[in-house]
Amino acid sequence: MRRLIVGSTGVLLLFLLLDTLFPLNNKVSYSPIIHARDSTILHAYLSQDDKWRLKTELSEIIPPLRTTLIYKEDKYFYYHFGINPAAVARALITNLFHLKTTSGASTITMQVARLLDPKPRTYANKFVEMFNALQLEWHYSKAEILQMYLNLVPYGGNIEGVKSAALLYFKRLPRQLSLAQIVTLAIIPNRPTSLVLGKRNDYILQERNKWLRRFAQDRIFPTEALRNALEEPLEVARQAPPQLAPHFCQRVHLENPQAISLYTSLDIQKQEKFSNWFKTMYAACISLVYSMPPCWWSTTIPIK
C-alpha cells in the first residue's frame, strides 16, 4: 500500500511538472457576434483566422445534442479521465494484428486536444495528444470540454463549430435544432470534406437515418421523436450569415474589436419597420424624380 501511495504521488508530481513546463494550447479565436435587444443575431464576422466559428455557450448544449454526441463519439465520456484504456488496448491489438474495428481509441477529450493543436498522425504525436487530454481533464470540467468540442468540430471549408453549422445551414441556433438536424450535424465532422451539406444530401440522409435506427435499437430517444426524425426531409444548402443592420453593427464592432458577443439595445422589429419604410420612401422619391420633366434636374444651369 505504501509503495502504491508513493508511486501514485510520484506520477502526480511528474504530471504537474510537465503540465507547468508544457502548458496546454487552449487559445481559440471566435467569430464576433452582434445581437439585438431580444438576442436575435444581427451580424456575425469571421474570426481572426478567417473561420466561421461562433461560440456555443453551455446553455445552448441541449440534452438531445449532448446525448447524440456522447452516444456516437464517446459513450464513456463521463467515466474516463481523458483516455479510455480499453479503447487504447483495442486499437493497439487492431494495429498489431490488422483486424477490423468499428471504433477508434480517441475520446472526445483527445479529439479536443487534437483540434486545439493539430499535428501529423504519428505514434509520438498520439502520446502528446493523450498527455494534452489529461491536461484538459485536469483544468476543465466535462461540460467545458464538451463545449470546446462543439466549438471546434469541422464542417468543411471555413465552418467550425456546431453553432456556425446550425446557423449557416439550418438558419437556427443549437437550442432550436430538431433531432434529425442534430444527428445530421453529428455525422458531418467525421468526413467534413466528403459529407458536404447541399451537395451530398442524399448520402448524408442515408447516414443520418442509419444512426437514427441505431438510436431506436438502443432506445436512446422516445419512439415518436425518432419516427418524426426519420420522416424529416433533408433539403438544405449553405446560407449567407446574418447581415441585419450592417452599418450599425459595423460601428459597434469597430468600437469593440475584441468582443466575442455583444448585446445592443436595437429593437429588431422597429429596425425592420423603419428599413422597409425607408426603402418605400426612397423608391417613391426616385420614381417621382424620373416622372418630372428633365429640364429642371438634368440640364446644367450656367453660373453667371
Domain boundaries, the chain: 57-152
Reported as a single tens digit per residue, the pLDDT across 203-250 is 999 999 999 999 999 999 999 999 999 999 998 989 999 998 888 999
Reported as a single tens digit per residue, the pLDDT across 142-179 is 999 999 999 999 998 899 999 999 999 999 999 999 99
33-35 and 261-263 strand pairing = parallel
Q: Which grid coordinates belong to 143?
A: 461540460
Establish how many alpha carbons lie within 13 A of residue 191's alpha carbon, considering only the half-sphere containing its beta carbon. 8
pLDDT at 103 exceeding the cut of 60? no
Relative orientation angle of helices 108-116 and 123-139, to the nearest 10 degrees: 110
pLDDT band at 62 (very low <50, low <70, confident <90, very high): very high
Length in residues, the chain: 304
Q: What is the pLDDT of residue 3?
A: 75
Reported as a single tens digit per residue, the pLDDT across 28-59 is 999 999 999 998 999 999 999 999 999 999 99
Residue matched to cell numbers 486545439: 116
- Residue 72: strand, helix, or coil: helix
Select from 3.40.50.1360, 3.20.20.190, 3.90.1170.50, 1.10.3810.10 the CATH code of 57-152.
Answer: 1.10.3810.10
Comparing 17 with 256, which gets the higher pLDDT?
A: 256
Report the C-alpha gap between 268 and 278 in whole angstroms: 15
The rounded percent of the chain whose pLDDT value lies above 90 is 59
- How many CB atoms within 10 Å of residue 126? 17
- Residue 280: strand, helix, or coil: helix
pLDDT at 1 exceeding the cut of 80? no
Residue 55 phi/psi, 5-degree rounding, is -75, 125
Note whether 260 and 55 are within 8 A (CB). Answer: yes
Report the C-alpha gap between 186 and 3 in whole angstroms: 45
Q: What is the pLDDT of residue 101?
A: 46
Reported as a single tens digit per residue, the pLDDT across 117-148 is 998 888 788 889 999 999 999 999 999 999 99
Average pLDDT over residues 56-83: 95
41-44 and 261-263 strand pairing = unpaired
41-44 and 33-35 strand pairing = antiparallel
- Residue 15: strand, helix, or coil: helix
Q: Where are the alpha helices (DSSP H) in 22-141?
A: 63-73, 85-97, 108-116, 123-139
Q: What is the pLDDT of residue 293?
A: 66
For the sheet with 261-263, list strands across it.
41-44, 33-35, 261-263
